[in-house]
A and B are shown apart, each in its own frame.
Chain A
């Protein structure tokens, strides 16, 4: 078996699929370079990102997959999950080696693997739409730090742009050290330096950095959260199932 080592990028993944066919491989293990451990028995190939090769593969997938399935393919990639990278390569092979329409075969393990991971990434994407709590800063930017399980910021940018068209906002991914900044015109990718005046380790901004109205808004939200609860129906198991504890630190109503 040949081991392909790639750098974790989407372009790298597509290049690896290209190499698989170009080199007429039989079986390939796809490994993320940061997890690669050399072994004597394996033959290893380092994948060099290639825009042209990646585009060939993507165009090929475009011909065989519906737009919906292409998005699924990309979303599964955003899981950053080592096993999923392998699943994506296997899935692409299955699609290329079979007549069009093969993606509907839910009896196939690769189709199921991608479809399941797509569902997980969707759930995380949906949670970010739900759990993001903006704090209005003194210079009138709505700010929210997050650390999603998967790299879902690219999937929520347009949602927030369409919704909050008339306010500037920042959503910052603390784990992946980049964020989205909307400046009333477009959404840009930013890194930590840009917002260096904010201590990113603290989720709740210090009061001197926030707008005078921020404190009351947050207090009222907590009041509302408590008042709308019906104690006679208390069901903490269900509560935690819907709002897993790892998200609590980002939710002001749970402070």
Chain B
């Protein structure tokens, strides 16, 4: 008797899994109505799939019926897959039943487009509204913005959702046109911009203090995703595009999803080829350097270096290209420069600037603070650093570091000389 709902869940969870976002952070909804749920600002991963990805939300499609035929999408119209659709009641009940057992932080609801944009968006909004108003649910809700939906529906959605997102799908307009001629980045920019402006409007109204209780509007902000490796963009094109969207639309996150071949389409990698996981990892590292380490994307990627190195991470790569800025004196250097040292993270950098007020730091203290000393030692000076007469040049230093470290991606260190 469980078969019907089990089959639906399997189809609609499977179809939703290529959306990599599962974040539940940034929510600040409090349980102040004696209801259920209280957002955890840091987000919680309740389990991890065997591929190592966090499971925080019940991530499902309302339906995988779709009027579009995007080549990269498993739910495209022409694909011969089983189709299913949840009822509003089923989604609400599943969400509550999982949440009450502490399986999830909330719901991530997306959908194929059936009939038209407004019809689809209206269903998504109806579910969120039911959860908030009838079930008094204060957990996390992430809704997909359906491009082309009316501003009235988007505004209503924003009042119930914690986060909203629309996927760029391909990093550039050209890539998108290649695989989904019916779509365009302008369709994405419009609703992203509208929601960004509405968020700002609600914030301003709050500041004036004229109205006592301003409702929350998409408190955890917006995000987007692009598929990597289906189309031939360079890393530079990908990250410049990400940077533009971070800046123009105040996005909280850009997700990069290595393309997993799901189609025999000749325009894309063939089925069975490995998803570009290492490349995806390097892109995320670059994204972190931009958001938390004060790097400008142009320092990391430019016409001289349009691709990220595969054998070393982008921070080390940048340091090797800019050796004249090193070594950095841990005991005197500016916090922002300490952040740029390979092997030193945000937490360690903060501890270093606090600790050095009490006396000059030595290498044993730096190790205890938790920096990756074996990597950092080539780029820093501290109280007990030995004087080095012949500093190695960049290619030499790179080979020293590669021999010392054991990258999870490289079983054999690649020490060949750079051509430049």
* A162-B38 in contact given A135-B101, A228-B55 (Cβ < 8 Å): yes
A-B interface contact total, Cβ < 8 Å:
161
Min CB distance A68 to B, Å, is 13
Establish whether residues A230 and B49, one from each chain, have CB atoms under 8 Å apart when the complex forms. yes
Indicate if the CB atoms of B354 and A223 lie closer than 8 Å.
no
> Once the chains are docked, how many angstroms separate the CA of A237 from the CA of B94?
30
Contact B34 A166 (CB under 8 A): yes
- How far apart are A83's CB and chain B's nearest CB, in angstroms? 15
- Chain A residues with CB under 8 A of B48: 238-239, 242-243
Name the CB-closest residue of B to A219.
Answer: B2
B221 interface residue per 8 A CB criterion: no
Interface: B149 (CB within 8 A): no
Closest Cβ–Cβ distance, residue B193 to chain A (whole Å): 31
- At the interface, yes or no: B6 with Cβ under 8 Å from chain A? yes
A134 touches B102 (CB 8 A): yes
B101 touches which of A165, A166, A221, A230 (Cβ 8 Å): A221
The answer to whether A224 has its CB under 8 Å from any CB of chain B is yes
Inter-subunit contact B52/A238 (CB<8 Å)? yes
Bound-state CA distance A44–B337 (Å) is 51
CB neighbours (8 Å) of B351 from chain A are 106
B49-83: CB near A (< 8 Å → 1, else 0) gives 11111110011000000000000000000000000
Min C-beta distance of B371 to chain A, whole Å: 11
Chain B CB within 8 A of A55 CB: no
Q: Would B17 and A228 count as touching, CB distance under 8 A? A: yes
Please report which residues of chain A, range 211-254, place their CB below 8 angstroms from some CB of chain B when the two chains form the complex: 213, 216-217, 219-221, 223-239, 241-243, 251, 253
Known: A105-B355, A229-B50, A243-B47. A163 touches B369 (CB 8 A): no
Cβ–Cβ contact A131 & B46, under 8 A: yes
Decide if B51 touches A233 in the complex (CB within 8 Å): yes
Q: How far is the CB of B42 from chain A (nearest CB, A)?
A: 8
CA distance A58 to B258 in the complex (A): 53
Residues of B within 8 A of A225 (CB): 47, 49, 55
Contact in complex: A221, B98 (CB < 8 Å): yes
Can you name the residue of chain A whose Cβ is closest to the Cβ of B274? A232
Interface flags for B234-257 (1: CB within 8 Å of A; 0: not) read: 000000000000000000000000
| Given A239-B52, A243-B48, CB of A105 within 8 Å of CB of B17 | no
Instruction: Decide if A233 touches B9 in the complex (CB within 8 Å).
Output: no
B115 within 8 A of A: no
CA distance A227 to B277 in the complex (A): 20
Nearest Cβ on chain A to B141's Cβ, whole angstroms? 15
| CB-CB nearest in chain A for B48 | A242
B10 close to A (CB within 8 Å)? yes
Chain B residues in 8 Å Cβ range of A213? 97
Interface size class of B (residues with CB under 8 A): 35 or more
User: A217-B97, A219-B6 are known contacts. Are A105 and B354 too (CB-CB below 8 A)?
Assistant: yes
Pick the interface stretch among A34-42, A107-115, A147-155: A107-115
Given known A164-B36, A165-B35, A242-B45, contact A104–B14 (CB-CB < 8 A): no
A53 contacts across to B, CB distance below 8 A: none
Report yes or no: B51 in contact with A230, Cβ–Cβ below 8 A: yes
Is B37's beta carbon under 8 Å from chain A? yes
Q: How far is the CA of A228 from the CA of B356 in the complex (A)?
A: 47
| Pairwise interchain contact A163-B31, C-beta atoms closer than 8 A | yes
Q: Which residue of B lies closest to A115 (CB)?
A: B351
Check if A167 sits within 8 Å of B9, measured CB to CB.
no
Is A224 in contact with B100, judged by CB distance below 8 angstroms?
no
B64 to chain A, nearest CB (A): 12
A223 close to B101 (CB less than 8 A) = no
B290 at the interface (CB under 8 A from A): no
A235 touches B50 (CB 8 A): yes
Q: Is A130 an interface residue (CB 8 A)?
A: yes
Q: Is the CB of B354 within 8 A of A239?
A: no
The reply to whether B14 and A216 form a contact with Cβ atoms under 8 Å apart is: no
- Nearest CB in chain B: distance from A111 CB, A: 8
Assess whether A228 is in contact with B49, with CB atoms less than 8 Å apart: yes
Question: Provided the pairs A165-B36, A233-B260 are in contact, do residues A227 and B368 lie with their beta carbons within 8 angstroms?
Answer: no
A132 in the interface, Cβ–Cβ < 8 Å?
yes
- Whether a CB of chain A sits under 8 angstroms from the CB of B357 is yes
22 sample A-B contacts, Cβ–Cβ < 8 Å, listed by A number: A106-B352, A106-B365, A107-B355, A112-B369, A129-B40, A133-B102, A134-B102, A162-B30, A165-B31, A166-B34, A166-B36, A166-B136, A167-B36, A220-B97, A224-B98, A227-B9, A229-B49, A230-B18, A233-B275, A235-B50, A239-B49, A242-B52
Other CB < 8 Å A-B pairs besides A108-B355, A235-B50, 7 of them?
Answer: A106-B354, A106-B365, A136-B101, A164-B100, A221-B101, A225-B55, A226-B10
